[in-house]
Amino acid sequence: MLYTEILNDNRDFLSLYKRGRYFASKYSVIYVRANGRPYNRLGITARKKVGNAVCRNRAKRLIRLAYRESEIDLPVGIDLVIVARSHICTVKSQEFCNYMKRTGVREINGIYRKLTAGK
């Protein structure tokens, strides 16, 4: 990933859940917040409701792949947490990548514009 670091700390996840903006789809819920850094930070979660370990790991791989393909179109300086939903296990990888390129990037850019307009 070009300008992305991994989000590891639990407090970072919790602050995004509480203070970040989000949008949901049948595949995932994406939380966004400006971080004021010259790079993005990405966190991926998949709860047990998504399925067994094989399904959860596949969901995380799909999310990583879709993020990697659409990273160039995203603004720099945001924190993202992508939470997998159970429907992501039944979808082909290309379909989720196309969703992320079209809808996901558009929504993230819109949220980022709203967050930075208030500054």
pLDDT, position 1 = 67
pLDDT for 104-118, tens place per residue? 999 999 999 988 886
Phi, psi (rounded to 5 degrees) for 98: -65, -40
Helix runs in the chain, H state only: 10-19, 53-70, 93-99, 105-117
Q: What is the pTM of this model?
A: 0.91
